[in-house]
Amino acid sequence: MLFKSLISSALLATSTLVSSVVADDLPEIEVVGNKFFYSNNGSQFFMKGVAYQQNTANSSDSSFVDPLADAEACKRDIPYLQELQTNVIRVYALNVSLDHTDCMDMLKDAGIYVIADLSEPDVSINRKSPEWNLELFDRYTGVVDLFQNYTNVLGFFAGNEVTNTKSNTDASAYVKAAIRDTKAYIKAQNYRTIPVGYSANDDSDIRVSLADYFACGSEEERADFFGINMYEWCGSSSFKTSGYESITKQYKNLGIPIFFSEYGCNEVSPRKFQEVGTIYGSDMTDVWSGGIVYMYFQEENDYGLVSVSGNSVSTLKDFSYLKAELASISPSGVSSSSIGSTSVTSCPTSTSNWSAATKLPPTPDQDACDCMAASLTCIVDSGVDSSDYADLFDYVCAKIDCDGINGNGTTGEYGAYSPCSDKQKLNFVLNLYYEENGSSKTDCDFDGSATTQSAKTASSCSAYLKSAGTSGVGTISGSIQTTKHTGITATLTGSSKSTSSSGSGSSSSSTSGSSSGSNKISLGLTTKSLLVGAVSIVGFGLIFA
């Protein structure tokens, strides 16, 4: 049953006046130990969030609706978010070609922060065939560049439910590499410190190891926060019965902030959100930093708080229940000055349920990939469609060792050229086959799919190519500068192998990812032109429950 939520113009005017005062002093949110704090006074920040994104496209050339690019929609919806005392919204995908200033300013005026996913549906980590590559790096840094100047950006998710079972834990190595490189990029650009983290599903087989994996390691590598999409509390339940007590004990020593990046089971309708009092109560606030309700918009999945038709908003029963529950809470926090030294979480050991390597994939670097591509003689013909690349990979890599372009998140072995574009990687293995078979013209034909070019090696490329080695399994390091990213020291770490093995398998983008030890070629099959430099970033899988 729907009922209209009526807000008078007087109330709107008062709300705007009050929130403007808040916005003038809206401080950045910072991470200290395993908690969030307001940077201006050191008081603890608890998320009272709502997921804010529709699951339908608003244009013919976009696979998602960017809610922060629609100023009229933001103006329409913000009063309802304020009714829920919302202080954070989660946005799953952003269009970097659009302007977000109006919405971000209105959200700031309302005292609302944004936590945004860096990927988008077509450019994200594929758990079945994960990679951390140039296109992903460009996408992630593009979002960072666009949103870093908004002080109400609380943080970024580098991935969402990428690893979701024990069979694809290897994908987490690629997500963690994205976190590492996104953080490095933010620092290198002298942007303000913006936390970068991960949003996980709740799988009992891997959830503890998954959190430990992202929270462990050096400051440069580990996530700044960890979110869990949690749907265990359904209907009438309790701290113990719901499983909240168990997971709170499991995460009590996690060294970074943890929160519910989604919550709100809808198996029982309407949702009365009885878990809210527990989430923000004394049983959980020492460990958890609040949560984000899924979701604002009513859709076929029946998780909505409101129904929207044009510029008309009708609140649902769930809205009123959530509003009442949030109005009754008063979480007790601590001050940032009371936080002592926090121990770093230990990395999980390898088990039958967990097999992600602590050694991470290399940082994608356009210059290094371009150096390699220019040095080749045998390359794919320009008339070959990218959809045919997989067949060429399969043929060539059945005959030669393709470890120089492969990556394996279980063994921690990554080819120096594994982050390069699909075309560059294909050119590399075609040329390798050509050279290993005598370098005759017939060795660079492939039924007309390949051709020769004049190989060129710039003086600035010599050291990189030598370090990578002929087969591409070495290590490339150096200070790489480009027009977009400057001053970042990149290290492309390849496999420690020094000799080739025969016939490593290759696979197309449809190859199923697993925790087995076999190498695989990851094909994004993209043709996007990139202006990318010396840091990497990972994808997130956009998931609308």
**Is 177 within 8 Å of 130 (Cβ atoms)?**
no
- Residues forming beta bridges with residue 345, ordered by sequence position: 216
| Rg for the chain, CA atoms, rounded | 25
pTM to 2 decimal places: 0.85
**Residues classed as catalytic:** 161, 262
- The whole-number pLDDT of residue 62 equals 56
Pairing of strands 475-480, 450-452: unpaired
- 240 Cβ partners below 8 Å, 6+ apart? none
DSSP code at position 335: B
Q: Bin 427: left if φ > 0, else alpha if -120 < ψ < 50, else beta.
A: alpha
- Residues forming beta bridges with residue 493, ordered by sequence position: 475
Find tokens 């020492």 and name the residue: 286
SS3 category, 408 = strand
Listed residue (254, 167, 265) closest to 208, CA to CA: 254
- Indicate the length of the chain as a whole number: 545
Tokens linked to 534: 């010396």
Listed residue (378, 529, 350) closest to 455, CA to CA: 378
Pairing of strands 29-32, 35-38: antiparallel
Q: What are phi and psi of 216, to 5 degrees?
A: -95, 170
DSSP code at position 520: B
Residue 42 CB burial class (10 angstroms; 0-12, 13-18, ≥19): middle
- DSSP output for 461-478: THHHHHHH-TTS-SEEEE
Tokens linked to 113: 């922060």
SS3 category, 115 = strand
- The whole-number pLDDT of residue 495 equals 39
- 60 Cβ partners below 8 Å, 6+ apart? none
Q: Give average pLDDT by consecutive 10-residue segment, the chain, 545 residues.
A: 40 40 75 98 98 70 85 98 99 97 98 98 95 97 97 98 98 98 96 98 97 98 98 98 98 98 98 99 98 98 97 98 98 95 93 98 94 97 96 97 98 97 98 94 94 94 91 73 41 38 32 37 36 32 36
* CATH domain 73-333 topology: TIM Barrel (3.20.20)
Alpha carbons 68 and 94: distance in angstroms, whole number: 8
Find tokens 């032109």 and name the residue: 529
Handedness of CA 386, 392, 393, 394 (dihedral sign): positive
Q: What are phi and psi of 247, to 5 degrees?
A: -70, -30
**Is 123 within 8 Å of 135 (Cβ atoms)?**
yes
Listed residue (528, 531, 507) closest to 518, CA to CA: 507
Alpha carbons 155 and 184: distance in angstroms, whole number: 15
